[in-house]
Amino acid sequence: MNINLQLQLSIAPLTYFEAKCCLRSLAREGIVTLWNEQRSLSRDTCLLNLSAEYISSDSPLWLCERLAAAIWKEAGRFVRLTSLVTSDNETEHLFIFEEVDYQRLMPAFRLRMPPLRR
């Protein structure tokens, strides 16, 4: 059964170029971005905040792990990811992906992910 998921993502630190690449990567994963902002952290880096929707039968955890792997692959490195997922029944799930998650998830997703495009 498919459910509508509302996502709030915060990703940092990113260069402004990486932020644009991450948005394209999320679109390839089927994520519909409703709005996004790039908040400056320094002259060269930013925090990417976005709100998105996704219709899926996947669990919120599986979806967020898949998105984290796609973002990390696009960035080519670890960046911190915070994800708040709200489902149709108003259940909220908060996931914070740190470097230990990067080390755990990337080997599992590396063969599944499409090649990096720039």
pLDDT tens-place string over residues 8-53: 999 999 999 999 999 999 999 999 999 999 999 999 999 999 999 9
pLDDT exceeds 80 at position 62: yes
* pLDDT of res. 118: 46
CATH topology of domain 3-109: Alpha-Beta Plaits (3.30.70)
* pLDDT of res. 115: 47
Q: How far apart are CA 79 and CA 68, in angstroms?
A: 9
pLDDT exceeds 50 at position 5: yes
Vertex 11 angle, CA 74 and 52, to 5°? 90
- Residue 97: both structure tokens together: 């992906």
- Residue 65: both structure tokens together: 């792990």
* Least confidently predicted of 9-13, 18-22, 78-82, 109-113: 109-113
pLDDT exceeds 60 at position 93: yes
The pTM is what?
0.87
User: Can you give the chain as a three-state secondary structure string?
Assistant: CCEEEEEEEEEEEEEHHHHHHHHHHHHHCCCEEEEEEEEECCCCEEEEEEEEEEEECCCHHHHHHHHHHHHHHHHCCCCEEEEEEECCCCCEEEEEECHHHHHHHHHHHCCCCCCCCC
Which residue would you say has higher pLDDT here, 53 or 58?
A: 53
* pLDDT of res. 112: 55
40-59 burial, b at 16+ Cβ within 10 Å, e below that, comes to eeeeebbbbbbebebebeee
Would you list the domain boundaries of the chain?
3-109
Chain mean pLDDT for the chain: 91
